[in-house]
């Protein structure tokens, strides 16, 4: 049996040692995000009766909790984050946000999510966009909602409108986008309340 040269053994054990003790990159941990408490930019009673807020609707990726983003110039290609999630599904999260926003704004005597309680008005909404747009040197969040207002017991819509808000953020991190989402929603909810006030005044004429 031939003896293995000492130099070969040294190289072998050196390689084995380097492989065994290479630092292993830590596995990323999941991060969960929630929106800050609503702070309405206006406070005004618009509805003269109680309001029922229906469950928000959405399609496709907007039903999931994974946060979405796009990197192409037109924002046509959506991607999901692997470790960044909303604490709740967007339809439930945004419904809760609008519920608290309307209550804090004193927009109606009572705003509820229980259809069995007597109410005069019904608000419905659908999520069309809820994502970050990452550009080469900037980033923004985009929120698009379709909101409808109806008087209970009638087929006539008092209001049906699309609302879009895009807010620039300081950097490309997910954390920096959370306050921008809240700002975008406040902008949309404020415009909706203003439109609802106009629609209700026109309906009384």
Domain 6-204: homologous superfamily in CATH = ABC-type transport auxiliary lipoprotein component (3.40.50.10610)
Contact predicate 57/126, CB 8 Å: yes
Contact predicate 50/115, CB 8 Å: no
pTM (2 decimals)? 0.86
Per-residue pLDDT, 124: 97
pLDDT one-digit tens code per residue, 168-189: 998 999 999 999 999 999 999 9
pLDDT one-digit tens code per residue, 13-65: 455 454 444 456 677 799 999 999 999 999 999 999 999 999 999 999 999 99
Per-residue pLDDT, 75: 83
pLDDT one-digit tens code per residue, 97-154: 999 999 999 999 999 999 999 999 999 999 999 999 998 888 999 999 999 999 998 8
Per-residue pLDDT, 21: 45
Residue with the two structure tokens 């309906």: 203
Average pLDDT over the chain reads: 89
Residue among 138, 186, 197, 152 nearest 53 (CA) = 152
Q: Any idea where the domains of the chain sit in the sequence? A: 6-204
Check whether 86 has a pLDDT greater than 70.
yes
CA–CA separation, 195 and 107 (whole Å): 13
Contact predicate 94/87, CB 8 Å: no
């Amino acid at each position: 049996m031939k003896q293995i040269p000492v130099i070969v053994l040294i190289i072998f054990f050196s390689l084995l040692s380097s492989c065994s003790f290479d630092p292993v990159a830590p596995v990323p941990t999941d991060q969960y995000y929630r929106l800050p408490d609503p702070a309405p930019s206006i406070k005004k009673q618009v509805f003269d009766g109680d309001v029922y807020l229906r469950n928000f609707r959405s399609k496709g990726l907007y039903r999931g909790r994974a946060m979405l983003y796009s990197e192409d110039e037109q924002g046509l290609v959506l991607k999901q984050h692997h470790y960044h999630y909303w604490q709740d599904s967007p339809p439930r999260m945004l419904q809760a946000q609008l519920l608290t926003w309307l209550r804090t704004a004193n927009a109606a005597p009572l705003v509820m999510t229980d259809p069995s309680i007597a109410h005069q008005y019904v608000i419905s909404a659908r999520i069309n966009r809820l994502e970050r747009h990452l550009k080469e040197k900037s980033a923004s969040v985009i929120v698009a909602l379709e909101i409808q207002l109806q008087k209970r017991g009638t087929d006539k819509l008092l209001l049906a409108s699309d609302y879009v808000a895009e807010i620039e953020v300081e950097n490309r991190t997910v954390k920096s986008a959370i306050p921008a989402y809240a700002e975008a929603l406040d902008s949309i909810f404020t415009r909706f309340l203003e439109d609802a006030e106009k629609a209700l005044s026109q309906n009384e004429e």
